[in-house]
Chains A and B, each alone.
Chain A
Amino acid sequence: MTTATRTDVSLVAHLMRRAAFGAPAWQLEQLAETSYEELVENLVAIDRHERPVEDLFDRFHLDFADEERGNASGVRWFYRMVNTARPLEENVALMWHNRFATAASKVNNSRAMAVHMNMLRDNGMGNYRTLLQKLSRDPAMIWWLDQQTNHGEAVNENYGRELLELFSMGRGNYSETEVRSAAEAFSGWTIDQTIPRYPNGWYDTNFVYREDDHYHADKEFFGEKGNFNGDDIIDRIVTQPATGRFVATTLYRFFVADKPDGEAIEELSDVYFRSNYEISEMLRALFLSDRFKNARFETVRWPAKHVAYLMKLTGEHTDPYQPGLTVLEAKSLAMGQQLLNPPTVEGWHTGREWIDSAFLIERVNFAADRLANLEAPGVQKMVERLRERGPSLSAEELLDAALYELGCLEMRDVIRDTVLEEVGEDRVFDTASAGFGREATTMFQFISSSPDFQLA
């Protein structure tokens, strides 16, 4: 056993913002008692932790428990983000959800969407070949890309094309021959029930392969000829250099920076091939890289993660009895990200497009509301820790301490100076006074309203 190495709290904070959903300082300090390598391992080796038991959630949120409502899984997801011991699993599911971009608006079956999301959780950190195999058999995906209308006699190219373009290699790395062959190879891959809910409510729908509806003839795929079926196509796709780069880019853009870096992509792509397409190996390498460690505050925080992060700070929704989970979903939507409903087959427009005037107003207002709630256990805890710093705090001390409590945040000097001027540089705060709680939360609001707070 190695000696526990204390990790820099700001590095822990960075890792938790990206690979988890962020955390207040008191949690970061506990995590920092461990070495960085061990923290990464604890996130990546998800089998070390159980998934959260959600039977109490089911009992107290009946509306969402039975997946009858269209937004069921999205609401539940926020509960999961806040409470899971496997936060990386949820992040990876969110990443693939954006990449495979299957939307409830078309699938129109909450149960199928829940199955889809669990498929992403179960396989998202596993082997990419397995993930593509599961994806190709996923009822929501089949319906989403009209794959049930892909018949041997009348081939529908939608899934074959998107598999190559959006789920693996990307445009320019294959020809129309490969599209056609992939589509033919997946003909007959369908579901046993059509999805519309009426007349008998939602019902489960399952993948079936109809041999008699498959296009049985030789197909050409990257120069090879054979009577390929869907899995043969996947076997060949995953070996393509473009696929390695695609998976690497997807991970990099979600976890590291909005703009991919060529050299970093090549390195990650190497891990993809060396590990035989194991995503968890890529994640391990990614989090241990200096590039990751240094890429702080370089992405715009995704709206769903913004919401979950604030809940981690305020300590709300850790118990299943608290009402108001639907609000979290509605707020995320208002900030531009309705979970389970990506706007296009390309997923959300991320990066700077997360910020428009309405989205920004919602982000700022939501943070200001929640961080001012002195009833919330997490807010109380942060205020209490500020009090413990001493009987009085200067304005600068309060600002720096508040930044720290909110997750070891950074703020540009020019913004810090502006806040201090507004607060009054000479002010001294009496931490024992009755009004200190309000003064502390006002500082939280100032910080959370800043441009810098929008970055992760």
Chain B
Amino acid sequence: MPTAPTAPAKQPVFVVVQLSGGNDFMNTLIPHGNPLYYDFRKTVDVSEDQVLDIDGSVGLYPKLTHLKEMYDAGNVAIIQGIGYPDPDRSHFRSMDIWHTAEPHEVISEGWLGRTIRELDPQKQNVCTGVSFGQGLPRAMYLGGTPAISVAQLEGYGLLTSLAGKEQRRALNLFHRMYTPEEIGEASMVLEHVSNTGIDAMTGADMLKAGTADYTSTVEYADDPFSQSLKGIAQVHTANIGTRIFYAQLGGFDTHGAQIATQDMLLANLSRGLNDFFADLREHNAAEEVVVMVFSEFGRRIRDNGNGTDHGSGGGAFLIGDRVNGGLYAEYPSLDPKDHLSGDMHFNNDFRSLYSTVLDDWLGIAPDPIVNGHFEQFEGLITSLN
């Protein structure tokens, strides 16, 4: 596809995919070469001949066929043994820690909210951060910093049941009510409501106008996750300046019926990502996108007969043309003497991965965002410019 000579320089874009519920890393990147794996996984295991082998010792879950193709093309980095200090087996606390990049204190400001503030300090573009799914994730929440939350693009907008002149009039009034010349006796809460209203209106207009001409030969699946990725592709190819995207795939809390559940979910993940990148390529818009896939924790080393319980130490994926694929960090030891109360010991802090992405990809100083200095993964990403 020819590129117009006036095309503006591409800006790096970062997409976060959250696997909610605690994805079982041991059955995502499977240590099939290690006999201890089969000792601990008596029933919730994948036989060696089914694993999509990578190097004779580890391999991907059988349903991750597309992801394996991307891996073989050199576009997938797998961060083994990622986690955070003093593992807490609560979903909620763990998720909060990943979202806020703060493992010790409970705070509500998200790390991506801080990132958005850094990318757009003047708040010139309310669509700098766009989340698809049910509700804005805490990761993107930061008081005073806009971020757009969209359940689905179709039908998204204010006062959509009105039409024509009536709608224009109501929207005009809406705009004026949410930006009064003087704030009046507004409380902090009213100010927040007002700011959100203006952001919502501006964002909805931008998204609607920008995505109106989107076409693609890629047919995404109908599930909400795939549709979220489609929405991200639509907004990204609309060139409205969105730099941070968020999508979620839930249901990984596999205490029971794990194999059937993970079969479905990981196939969904793998196909969705494949369709997403195919779509971006079709629009010559893949190179500037890096996707991070994470889950709040891994699961216990020993299965419970039908599933696995909450554990610690997991894995993350970084995917994109500019990602230097391969295995990063060490696979956590399965040797019982190395277990952390029955779990894998994490060996790299999630804030190292965050720092690498912030520094090498988004080009912003990581330490203030992650509240500390963390060693980065050398050569994990090649920056765009």
Contact = CB atoms under 8 A, between A and B. Distances in A.
Nearest to A344: B92
Nearest to B133: A358
A422 interface: yes
Contacts of A356: 135-136, 141, 147, 149, 196
Nearest to B187: A298
Contacts of B147: 356-357
Nearest to B89: A158
Contact of B180 (A258, A418, A422): A418
Nearest to A364: B158
B335 interface: no
A119 B153 CA distance: 40
A368 B182 CA distance: 25
A303 to B, nearest CB: 11
A291 interface: no
B256 interface: yes
Interface string A334-352: 1010000001111001011
Interface in B324-353: none
Interface residues of B, number: 55
A46 interface: no
Contacts of B157: 361
Grouping DSSP codes into helix (H, G, I), strand (E, B) and loop, the A interface class, with mixed when no group exceeds half, is helix
A361 B204 contact: yes
B193 A451 contact: yes
Contacts of B192: 352, 355
A346 B92 CA distance: 8
A451 B194 contact: yes
B189 A358 contact: no
Contact of A358 (B135, B177, B184): B135
Contacts of A368: 159, 161-162, 170
Given A418-B180, A422-B169, A358 B150 contact: yes
Interface string A118-135: 000000000000000000
A357 B177 contact: no
Nearest to A299: B189
A415 B180 contact: yes
28 contacts: A298-B187, A298-B189, A336-B135, A344-B91, A345-B92, A351-B189, A352-B188, A353-B108, A355-B192, A357-B196, A357-B199, A358-B135, A359-B149, A361-B157, A361-B158, A361-B200, A364-B174, A365-B159, A368-B159, A368-B162, A414-B181, A414-B183, A418-B176, A419-B177, A422-B176, A449-B174, A449-B177, A455-B190
Name the 6 nearest CB pairs between A and B, nearest first: A357-B200, A344-B92, A414-B184, A358-B149, A412-B184, A356-B136
Interface of B: 90-92, 95, 108, 134-136, 138, 141, 143, 146-151, 156-162, 166, 169-170, 172-174, 176-178, 180-190, 192-194, 196-197, 199-200, 203-204, 253, 256
Given A413-B184, A414-B182, A449-B170, 4 more contacts: A344-B95, A352-B143, A358-B148, A359-B149
